[in-house]
Amino acid sequence: MDRAFQRAKILSDHLLQSNSSQIISTNACLSYSPPELNELYDFDIKEMRKLLDGHNVQDRDWLFNLIVQSKLFNPKKAGEKVFISPDYNQSMEQQREMTMKRISYLLERGVFQGWLTAKGVEAELTKLALLEVVSMFDHSLAIKLGVHFFLWGGAIQFFGTKRHHDKWLRDTENYVVKGCFSMTELGHGSNVRGIETVATYDSNTGEFVINTLCESAQKYWIGGAANHATHTVVFSQLEINGKNQGVHAFICQIRDEDGNICPNIQIADCGHKIGLNGVDNGRLWFDNVRIPRENLLNSVADVSPNGEYLSAIKDPDQRFAAFMAPLTSGRVTIAASAVYISKIGLAIAIRYALSRRAFSISPNGPETLLLDYPSHQRRLLPLLAKTYAMSSATNYLKMIYVNRTPQSNKTIHVVSSALKAAHTWHNMRTLQECREACGGQGLKTENHVGHLKSEFDVQSTFEGDNNVLMQQVSKALLAEYIAAKTRNNSFKGLGLEHMNKPCPVIPSQLASSILRSSQFQMDAFCLRERDLLSRFALEVSQHQARGQSKEYAFILSYQLAEDLGRAFSDRLILQTFIEAEATVSEGSLKHVLGLLRSLYALICLEEDAAFLRYAYLSTDNDAAVRKEVKQVCSEVRPHALALVSSFGIPDGFLSPIAFNWIDANSWSSAHQ
């Protein structure tokens, strides 16, 4: 009590002090200063945006404007700016209803024209660009469109033949038919071969009979199934005369034109989720559901009226691979979407860090901008460099996808698997760092960054669990390695041509000029990849020599498989970034790209323990890398605003803290 009384008296004496000279003076109120007043634009941000987007810049801006103009996209004023964002305070049912209203709005304005009926590279690139814009507004809306056009529509395009195209594609494009995609089951996700739904051919009636034989066979997480879809593509085991012919795809109606569930089909809702509540994910059960023989999607295999199984591909493994090849579109769109959402997070966090101040570094001096702290630069700018590098990789992936041939299917599968995993992991890490970098403001839903985490978390597991995808990448690389060594051939494809050259040698001392050299950077990445591939092949063969099966030997070598998958992804991303940089003429734009490329390469060298674990770098060289990261961050810092402005994201797609956050939080703004 005595101590409490003493402290109270000291405080009382201080507050009642009559000498005005001893009263603490108050500082002037903080005011917002737009970063544009002080930050440099040393390069043409429009040219940088063209490089980043890669294609269809005008189409993207057209759709941005369509979205901003409509009240359906929930515009809200904060300060002097208007921002758009889904209303996450709505119930799950309301969010789903709004998703469908927004689809109708976009449909009426021709956004989806040609998405399934137009042909050619330009049509595909336009569709990809517009979907990327949609995903920047709302992941639920993008997923709803992705399921309808890319999965349901894509299955008909790629698995079906002319009879299916003529009957279904135009009605799908115009939303006369609302489609969904029933592959995943309660008991099987990544392991598609193991699904338990069965379609049995009845030669007496010329029909397939689809059955859910057990609870684990129920179709699960089927986007669109709970409320809106009228039809689905059902993936089932095909049985003919008691023989299982493997997984095939069938068209099945699940609702009539009035929305009533069809006979012998049961549908349940998957319920509320941590994100994507604008998508009506559902569960499906089939009980002796009969469909016409013509509803088998028969580009790979067919069944004659009398029950003869017909396929030009005799090997079951190759037939299954042919079925899976067209499904890469999902991984392509997810990899791209993840990069664009990283851009949103970084644009918000970096703009905030260019106007928010904290603490003074000199007595009575002004408070320091967050981004002028080296520690804050180290948090955000390497992620910015990675996002730039991954933009180049995304454009490479999209181009090989839209120009695909049967011969390139394997490359597209491996590259899309690697980049889908790398980009979505990067997106989650970026959003978390941006959320923390925005402090308490990052928790507010209106500021987007925090909520985007829960909305996009699912990308790590749908269309293939990231860890499983990376294992598939390593398995494909191992197959290439064994084939080349067995036949004494050179490596060709998957970017492994560097394996034909002498093994790179890392200098014993790494000066700054060497660390920033693209040749050194590629040498270091290639050294890691080729050594890990050799180690992985050796470890698998050693397990096999001890009597383990090839599959189990691969499973036992999972650590090297993970390291190799990362090495492949990092090298591919760096390679595409260097190629993009090479297209730019000498000048300020090329200089900044060089800084970003070096920062990307150096942060990968610093973060991956494999470089030290396998002695690709000495401890001294590792320290030199760490020091150079700090230096390059400081050189990127003056370009930070220009770099996020180059993303071309309209102000309304960002959030209040990216602009005048004082005005947006004022009393008058709170009562607008």
Residue 279 — left, alpha, or beta (φ > 0 → left; ψ -120 to 50 → alpha)?
Answer: beta
**Residues 640-648, mean pLDDT to the nearest whole number:** 98
List the structure tokens of 211. 């059955």
Report pLDDT digits (tens) over 342-365: 999 999 999 999 999 999 888 888
- The 10s digit of each residue's pLDDT in 32-68 is 999 999 998 999 999 999 999 999 999 999 999 999 9
Q: What per-residue confidence (pLDDT) applies to 15?
A: 45
Give bridge partners of residue 239 from the DSSP assignment.
Answer: 200, 244
Within 403-496, residue ranges assigned H as helices are 409-437, 449-456, 466-487
The pLDDT assigned to 325 comes to 72
Whether the pLDDT of residue 594 is over 90: the answer is yes
Residue-level pLDDT at 18: 42
Query: Would you state the pLDDT for residue 14?
Result: 41
pLDDT given for residue 672 in this prediction: 65
DSSP bridge partners of 309: 303
Query: Which residue from 529, 333, 494, 500 is spatially nearest to 408, judged by alpha carbons?
Result: 494
Q: Over the chain, what is the mean pLDDT? A: 93
Q: Output the pLDDT for position 407.
A: 87
Residue (of 222, 279, 277, 276) closest to 254 by Cα position: 222
Single out the residue of 394, 377, 265 nearest to residue 341, CA to CA. 394
Predicted TM-score of the model (pTM) = 0.93
Q: What is the pLDDT of residue 326?
A: 65
pLDDT of residue 1: 46
Task: Say which residues have a Cβ less than 8 Å from residue 428's Cβ, sequence separation at least 6.
Answer: 453, 456, 457, 459, 460
Return the pLDDT at 20: 40
Q: How far apart are CA 157 and CA 231, in angstroms?
A: 15
* Residue 7 confidence (pLDDT): 47
Tens digits of residue pLDDT in 218-271: 999 999 999 999 999 999 999 999 999 999 999 999 999 999 999 999 999 999
For the segment 76-94, the average pLDDT, to the nearest whole number, is: 94
Farthest CA pair distance, the chain: 106
Element (H, E) at 284: strand 281-286
- 3-state DSSP call for residue 369? strand
Q: Helix or strand or coil: residue 444?
A: coil
CA 538/CA 557 separation, integer angstroms: 10
Report d(CA 567, CA 554) in Å as an integer: 17
Contact 233, 295 (CB under 8 A): no
Residue 491's pLDDT band (boundaries 50, 70, 90)? very high
Q: Are 547 and 489 in contact (CB under 8 A)?
A: no
Q: Parallel, antiparallel, or unpaired for β 198-202 and 231-240?
A: parallel
Q: For residues 616-628, give the mean pLDDT.
A: 96
pLDDT digits (tens, 9 = 90+) for 128-155: 999 999 999 999 999 999 999 999 999 9
Question: Using one digit for the tens of pLDDT, what is the confidence trace for 210-228?
Answer: 999 999 999 999 999 999 9
- Residue 245 burial (C-beta neighbours within 10 Å; 0-12, 13-18, 19+): middle
Using CA atoms, how far residue 663 sits from 32, 79, 367, 443, 558, in Å, is 8, 5, 19, 18, 53
Q: What pLDDT digit, counting tens, does each position of 302-332 carry?
A: 999 999 999 988 888 888 888 777 678 999 9
Percentage of the chain exceeding pLDDT 70: 96
Q: How many residues does the chain have?
A: 672
User: Is the pLDDT at 516 greater than 90, yes or no?
Assistant: yes
